[in-house]
Structure formats: C-alpha cells, structure tokens
Structure 1
Amino acid sequence: METTQVSRTPAISPLAIRERTGSISTAEIISALKGEITGLHIKQAFSFEIAEEISANFTRSLGLKERKDGVPGQYVGASHYRKDAATYFAESEHARPFVDALLGSLVDPLRGLFDALKRELRNQGIELRLARSEHGQSNICRAFCWSGNGQYALEPHDDVAQVLYAGDDCELPVVANNTVLALNLYISMPEKGGDLRIWSHRPTATDRKSQGVETTGYPYSSGYLEAIPFQDLQLKAGDIALIDGGFIHGVTPQSGNEKRRLLLNNFFGFARPDLVLWWT
C-alpha cells in the first residue's frame, strides 16, 4: 500500500521589491497597500541633517525606555505588540509629548508623507487616519533600535500575527485580512550589518502554529527558514524601507562604528475598502 508524504517545507512566495534613489511616492505606497509589490527601498530619501537631529533627540529623550516584552531594544513611543487596546492607547497618549519632541519643528519626511498619502487617498474616496479607541489614539511613529546580539539583531518574525491578536476591543485585527505594511525611516546605521532581511515566505496560521508563534509572529527558528531564499536590503541613514509585514523579516547582526541602528517606524493597512488605519 502506497502512502503519500506531505512535505513540511514552507511555501515559497516570490518577492517583488523595488530599489531606487530619490523620494518615495504616494503611488508606490498605494501599490504596496494593494499587495502589488512586496516592498520598496528608497535610498537617500531624506536629508542626513534631519537624521542627525532626530538621532540626537532620541539619545536625550526623557521618554527613552528599554523594551520588556522579550524583544531586546530601546524605544521612544508605544507599541501595540502583546498589549490590549486599553494599555496600548493609554501608552500612546502618555508617549505623545516624547514622540513630538523627537521630530520637533523639523520639516520631517514622515509627517509630510502621512499628509500627502492622506490627500491622495481622499481623492480616491478613502480615509486615512490614526488608529483609535475610547482610550486614545496612536502616534504617527515610534523610534527604536534593536540590541539583539545573537544570530540576528532582530529575530525573524512576521507582523500579521500580532495584528490578528490585538484584541476584541481593538479596531486593528481586521487589517490583518489585508496587507499590513511596515514603514521604516532609517535615522542612524552601523558601519556594517543591520541589513533588513526578507524571506520569500508569507506564513499561514498553520505555519505559525507549527512554530509556536500564533499570537506574536516572533520568532521563527533558523531551521524553519533554512531552505527559504531571502533578499537583504542594505540600508543607510536617510533611507526609507516599506515592506509587506506578512512576509517573514529580520535584521542581520551589526558591527563596526559606534553608531546605533535607529529608525522611525509605523504600520498601516486597509481596515475597510474606504478606510486605512495607521498605528505603531
């Protein structure tokens, strides 16, 4: 009698990543929102002077904290990771003055990008707004640097699981039915390493369960990823990366000069055909 053996090799999902120099466009962002491309890497997207000032503001921020959720790093702002809505939005409200102080009076690329995208989506009958609840609303970004010192500075993970399990009292989980985009603005980068590694794999609920990361998407084991091809984005201060957070991604080890790998980050995606939510 013949038996059929089911392969446990993770499914390969092709990457469609664009890399170029210049300014990021709202048309590219909307294309990523619709799942037409996996990611963008825009080199020299904003000025080194702006990056230097934000980096200095981060270092002296009174809101600078160590993460205590199992993901090693420092941050200013709030993260919804492993939090219910009440906790996350309360932390967002508390952190807002510190986030505002990071950007100061700069003509920074993030707020400009948010406003431009909001105008373009409005022209298409789509609202873009910060995620909110009765407890408050999200900030436009958070700033963080990862401090993992093993095989990865940030272990391989996906961003969808944490959105799916954001809680019944939160408006975010519906976004996980669509493309969850992660937007990173690189403020400071080490001399070597700190690359953004993206694997050609978009895990399913079954895949997450096999790795024990159903509710967090973090971390996937090296053995699980061994046979999956990947692409590294080599980043510098002033670059922007926009990726589909449903694909597994992580950060390679960093070394060289004393500069930290510091970035501004947020997430966004369609909650309804006429609504895009933005959060951290």
Structure 2
Amino acid sequence: MNAVLDVAEIRQEHVDRLVAGDVSAVRVRGFVSAGTAVEIGDSLARHWSLSRYRNTPELVRVGESHWETHDDDGSTNEAALEEYLRRADMLMNEIRAACAPHQSPLDQLWLMLEKEFGLERARIVDREMFAGIGRVFPEGTELLPHNDRLARDAPGLPLGLELDAQLAANIYLRAPEVGGELQIWNLRPTEEQLASWQADGSGYGTDRSLVPAPDVVLAVAPGDLVVIDATALHGVAKQIKGTRIGLSCFLGVRNGRPWVCWS
C-alpha cells in the first residue's frame, strides 16, 4: 500500500484508490498558500464563538458538529439537533467571514468537488445540515483513535444508508511545532471491536494500548488538504508544542449521484 497519494486535484480515480484501501490518504499540498492558511487559522482561534464541544469538552471548535446532537448514551438530543439545524447557515457564514479577505478554503474545496462529482449539503428531512467546522487542538490535546459512520452516528437518517463511502476532508491552517500528526490505521473495525476497545471516560475514542501502532503517521502542514476514508480507524497525536487548527467536513460518496457534505 502507498501511504499517501499526492495529487493536484481530487479526481474519481483517486477516490477509487482511497475507498479500495490502496492508499491511506489523498493529499493536495498547498491547496491554499501557507501564509493564507495561517492568517485564517489565527482568525478562527480568536473567533467570538470558539467553544468546547458539547459532548467532547477537551476539543474546541467554531461551528457545530452533528456529533454534538447526541447525549452520552448515544440517543439524539432533540433540542441540540434543532439548535444545530437552526444555526447551520448562520455559522457557515460566520466561518466565511472569519476567512475574509480570503476565500473560504471550504468553499474552494466544495467548488472543486462540485465540478468533478456534483455536491450538495446533506439534509435531515428537508433541512440542510451544517458543513465545514473549524477545529482547534490546544497544546496537550489529542484525538483518540476512532472512526466515523453516518449510518451509526445518525441511525434514523436515511442518508446514512445511501452512502457508498464516507470520507473526511481536512484543510490544515496551523500545525504544532511538535506533535499533532494525523494517524491512520489500516483497520475498518466492527462496532463490536470498537466497543471492546473503548477508552475509559471517552464517549468516542479507542484505548491506544488496545490497538497496534498506526500504519501511517502523517505530519501536517499549513495549506495542505488531506482526504481519508472516515470509516478507517484514525486519530491525532498529542500536540506536544503548539496548536493545531484546521477546517474539516465529511463527504458522502453516492455513486451516480451528487456527493453530500456535512459536519
């Protein structure tokens, strides 16, 4: 397996290799210039709405994640879901404003994907989901190994059953001096395996001592776009010195139909 496929633009053949497991990640180096990336990252780090995830308080973000509409037992919090949907457009525009005077890297990504595959925002019934979260990993934080599946994370949403693949796109804006690498395992665990590996005190992550070392450890750089298969086990190493800032969204692949995006 080739760990990382470097490309100029995301094309169908690149996605096919990623979904087939022939590569662990597809990267566009310098998707935005490093200088622009750092400026946007600094703006997001100062944003008035920067706050902790409702159910993962060790992480902070601008925007909201659909994951936050779940309570600790995995059930949907209807009030949180309503707030997530009601604020979706406003928060997406807030992130665009934070990127000014530059174009939002997310809009740049979505335009590229729309031309190649067709793209629309995912919906819950007739309401568009939020897409494009800004995430800040302060020094000392990490993201435990986990995977993402819409069919599991939103079991009442028919869209989860329509997807042929689920990808995660990350545009890096600032990287720590030490640590913060993207970690990818060549594992697509079952729900039973994930339950047996669950880290004590974590609502989402795996105990690192129960899984092998990651197969890929990728140092990230400001301005790079990296796309991975979200159903593969992945995580973020601890930020040992410095802060990691990025923009991210999920991409739902629907063969023969437009893709969908959400966060």
Partner of 2:124: 133
Q: Determine helix, strand or coil for the equivalent of 1:41.
A: strand
Unaligned 5+ segments in structure 2 are 70-75
Is contact 1:48-1:238 (8 Å) kept?
yes
Unaligned 5+ segments in structure 1 are 1-14, 122-126
Partner of 1:174: 161
Q: Tell me how far apart the structure 1 counterparts of residues 235 and 112 of structure 2 sit (CA, whole Å).
A: 29
Instruction: Give the TM-score, by structure 1 length.
Output: 0.77
Is contact 1:144-1:262 (8 Å) kept?
yes
Matches within 5 A, 1:101-112: 101-112=97-108
Partner of 2:239: 254
Matched, 1:275 2:258: yes
Q: Tell me how far apart the structure 1 counterparts of residues 183 and 207 of structure 2 sit (CA, whole Å).
A: 14
Q: Tell me how far apart the structure 2 counterparts of residues 271 and 87 of structure 1 sit (CA, whole Å).
A: 28
How many Å apart are 1:272 and its aligned residue? 6.1
Partner of 1:99: 95
- 2:110 is aligned with what amino acid? F
Instruction: Give the TM-score, by structure 2 length.
Output: 0.82
Partner of 2:34: 48
How many Å apart are 1:96 and its aligned residue? 2.8
How many Å apart are 1:253 and its aligned residue? 1.5
Matches within 5 A, 1:83-94: 83=69, 84=76, 85-94=81-90
Q: Tell me how far apart the structure 2 counterparts of residues 248 and 239 of structure 1 sit (CA, whole Å).
A: 21
Q: Tell me how far apart the structure 2 counterparts of residues 69 and 222 of structure 1 sit (CA, whole Å).
A: 20
Is contact 1:99-1:139 (8 Å) kept?
no
Matches within 5 A, 1:105-254: 105-121=101-117, 127-133=118-124, 136-147=127-138, 149=140, 153-160=142-149, 163-168=151-156, 170-174=157-161, 178-211=164-197, 218-226=204-212, 229-254=214-239
How many Å apart are 1:187 and its aligned residue? 0.2
How many Å apart are 1:217 and its aligned residue? 8.1
Task: Go from structure 1 to structure 2 and tell me whether the alpha carbon gap of 1:97 and 1:249 turns closer, same or farther (over 3 Å shift).
Answer: same
Q: Tell me how far apart the structure 2 counterparts of residues 82 and 271 of structure 1 sit (CA, whole Å).
A: 25
Matched, 1:26 2:11: yes
CA distances 1:56-79 after superposition (whole Å, capped 9, x unpaired): 321332221122312512110110
Q: Tell me how far apart the structure 2 counterparts of residues 247 and 148 of structure 1 sit (CA, whole Å).
A: 25
Matched, 1:263 2:246: yes
With 189-198 and 45-54 compared, the bigger mean Cα shift is at: 45-54
Partner of 1:8: none
Is contact 2:24-2:184 (8 Å) kept?
no
Q: Tell me how far apart the structure 1 counterparts of residues 90 and 30 of structure 2 sit (CA, whole Å).
A: 32
Task: Go from structure 1 to structure 2 and tell me whether the alpha carbon gap of 1:263 and 1:81 turns closer, same or farther (over 3 Å shift).
Answer: same
Is contact 2:250-2:262 (8 Å) kept?
yes
RMSD between aligned alpha carbons? 2.8
Is contact 1:32-1:39 (8 Å) kept?
no
> Post-superposition, which runs of at least 4 consecutive aligned residues in structure 1 deviate over 6 A?
none
Q: Tell me how far apart the structure 1 counterparts of residues 99 and 16 of structure 2 sit (CA, whole Å).
A: 27
CA distances 1:65-103 after superposition (whole Å, capped 9, x unpaired): 122312512110110114245343224244233222122
